Amino acid sequence: MSAADERARLVQAALESISVGSKSFRFASQLFDLTTRERSWLLYSWCRACDDVTDGQTLGHDAERVDDPTGRIAFLKARTADAFADRPTGLVPFEALRIVAGECAIPEAVADDHLAGFERDAAGWRPQTTDDLLSYCYQVAGAVGVMMAHVMGVPPEDEDTLNRAADLGIAFQLANIARDIVDDAKVGRVYLPTEWLAAEGLDDADLADPRHRPALARIGRRLADMAADYRRSARVGAARLPFRSRWAVLSASGIYGEIATRAAALGTRAWDDRITTSKAEKAALVMEAFWETLWPVRPVPRTGLWTRPSRP
């Protein structure tokens, strides 16, 4: 099989993965130019596999407790290192990473940051402080934003734009945490800082108890407000991208941002049903992002926002 045929095979496999694992990302990715779209799918294939291997799930669904979490992380680290060293792995997600990392000069250190988030999950880690929460959000989602920025052509020396790409991923993860507080608590996962719970007089066991919904609503609003701050910063970085990439990023921002907005607006009812957006709602948000793409963005400093580790 030629290199071009192998690449096409991996792109198709990545598309099939994203079509099941993240309909929102697939929806927004259609706005990229063809090359960027395919590269985004290749990167997603690796990210999805890392999540699935860590959680013992299939394409983001049916997670179950795994027997050897440390061994799974070691496997991910080893195969990822192989991909960055351009050594064939024989595994679709890591071959996808090998191609996109080579084509876009994605720094291995940022991929390592992403794996560090999964390592925390595997160890049963939970945040104690707001900084802990934000560093975790960077690892599991902000680092993906940085890698996506490289896919979209942001040069490695453009630290401010890369930081703002990380901000968007952080905003996405804060929205996901807000949406899933109760569902996560039911399976023993808590991503809220212990200092936040202490301030509300809660402990982990209270999160799934409907009697504590008023306190959860306050926490949900806090997460939504934080997510909005990081999304505002990310829009400044998005304005520096080519038109189609800018549109795709702003569309994803709107779609994921709607999750946090709805969680805050629903208050105590935010966890009665899982918050989702319909195809029609996604389409409306994409059109809103189109008009937003045409207007200049007022510069917003990153003052007070958590910043990813600097790289040499």
- The pLDDT tens digits for 226-238 are 999 999 999 999 9
Query: What is the CA 242 to chain-centroid distance, rounded?
Result: 21
d(CA 255, CA 249): 10
- Say which residue the tokens 């095979």 belong to: 9
If we measure between CA atoms, which residue out of 53, 226, 50, 36 comes closest to residue 150?
36
- Rounded to whole angstroms, the Cα distance separating 175 from 255 reads 11
Other Cβ atoms less than 10 A from the Cβ of 219: the count is 22
Domain 126-312, CATH: 1.10.600.10
Confidence of residue 19 (pLDDT cuts 50, 70, 90): confident
**For range 17-33, the mean pLDDT:** 78
Complete DSSP assignment for 103-141: HHT--HHHHHHHHHHHHHHHTT---SSHHHHHHHHIIII
Which residues in the chain are classed under CATH 1.10.600.10?
A: 126-312
Helical ranges in 123-212 per DSSP H? 130-137, 143-151, 159-186, 194-200
Q: Are 18 and 44 in contact (CB under 8 A)?
A: yes
pLDDT of residue 21: 61
Please return the burial class of 42, using the count of CB atoms within 10 Å of its CB with bins 0-12, 13-18 and 19+. Answer: buried
User: Is 60 exceeded by the pLDDT of residue 14?
Assistant: yes
Reply yes or no on whether the pLDDT at 63 is more than 50: no
Between residues 57 and 271, the one the model is more confident about = 271
**Token couple for 179:** 């949406």
pLDDT at 69: 83
Average pLDDT of the residues in 1-29: 82
What is the rounded distance in angstroms from the CA atom of residue 108 to the CA atom of residue 100? 12
Question: Is residue 257 pLDDT above 60, yes or no?
Answer: yes
